[in-house]
Amino acid sequence: MNTFESWLLLIIIMIPLIGAAVFIFMPKDREEMIQWSATILGLITMVLSIYCFAAYNHNDGGFQFANSWIWLDLPSNPIIGQQAIQLNLGIDGISAPMIMLTGIVMFTGVLASRSISDRPKEFFVLFFLLISGVFGVFASLDLFFLFFFYELSVLPMYLLIGIWGSSTDFKTFIRTKEYGAMKLMLYLVAGSVLIWISILAIFAESGLGTFLIPALSEIDFNTTFQLIIFPLVALGFGILAGLWPFHTWSPDGHVAAPTAVSMVHAGVLMKLGAYGIIRVGMFLLPEGAEQWAPVLLGLGTVNVIYGALSALGQRDLKYVIGYSSVSHMGYVLMGIATLNVIGLSGAVLQMFSHGIMTALFFVVVGVIYERTHTRDIGVLEGIAKKMGWVAVLFVIAGLTSLGLPGLSGFVAELLVFIGLFQTYPILGMLGIIGAGITAIYILRLVAKVFFGKLNEDIWNNMVDSKFSKQADSNYWERVSSVVLAITILVVGLFPFPFIKVIDTGVTEILAAMAGSL
By CB under 8 A, name the one of 467, 500, 512, 516 that touches other proteins.
500
Minimal distance, residue 399 CB to other proteins, in Å = 7
Decide: is 414 part of the binding site for other proteins (CB under 8 A): yes
Asked whether 330 and 238 are in contact (CB, 8 A), the reply is no
Strand partners, 69: 87
Residue 72 gets which letter from DSSP? Answer: E
**Binding letters toward other proteins, positions 336-355, x by CB under 8 A:** ----xxx--xx---------
By CB under 8 A, name the one of 189, 404, 458, 462 that touches other proteins.
404
By CB under 8 A, name the one of 219, 452, 467, 512 that touches other proteins.
452
By CB under 8 A, name the one of 235, 383, 415, 485 that touches other proteins.
415
Cα(423)–Cα(431) distance, rounded to whole angstroms? 13
Residue type at 222 in one-letter notation: N
Number of residues near other proteins (by CB under 8 A): 62
CA distances 259 to 21, 253, 265, 351, 370, Å, are: 23, 11, 10, 19, 10
Range in contact with other proteins (rule: CB under 8 A) among 163-171, 365-373, 467-475, 499-507: 499-507
Cα(348)–Cα(312) distance, rounded to whole angstroms? 26
User: CA dihedral defined by 160, 376, 300, 259, rounded to 10 degrees?
Assistant: -30
User: CA dihedral defined by 508, 326, 402, 295, rounded to 10 degrees?
Assistant: 50
Cα(392)–Cα(383) distance, rounded to whole angstroms? 11
**Binding letters toward other proteins, positions 18-57, x by CB under 8 A:** ----------------------------------------
Sign, Cα dihedral of 48, 53, 54, 57: positive
By CB under 8 A, name the one of 373, 406, 466, 511 that touches other proteins.
406
Residue 280 gets which letter from DSSP? Answer: I
Asked whether 84 and 73 are in contact (CB, 8 A), the reply is yes
Instruction: Give residues 151-190 in contact with other proteins (rule: CB under 8 A).
Output: 173, 183, 186
CA distances 492 to 54, 396, 432, 498, Å, are: 17, 12, 18, 10
Range in contact with other proteins (rule: CB under 8 A) among 68-76, 107-115, 122-130, 493-501: 493-501
By CB under 8 A, name the one of 233, 241, 384, 463 that touches other proteins.
384
Range in contact with other proteins (rule: CB under 8 A) among 41-49, 150-158, 200-208, 438-446: 438-446
By CB under 8 A, name the one of 10, 151, 385, 512 that touches other proteins.
385
Question: Helices 317-338 and 341-372 meet at what angle, rounded to 10?
Answer: 170
Q: Applying CB under 8 A, which residues contact other proteins?
A: 173, 183, 186, 245, 248-249, 252, 306, 309-314, 323, 340-342, 345-346, 382, 384-385, 399, 402, 404-406, 410-411, 414-415, 417-418, 421-422, 425, 428-429, 432-433, 435-436, 439-441, 443-444, 446-447, 450-454, 495-496, 499-500, 503, 506-507
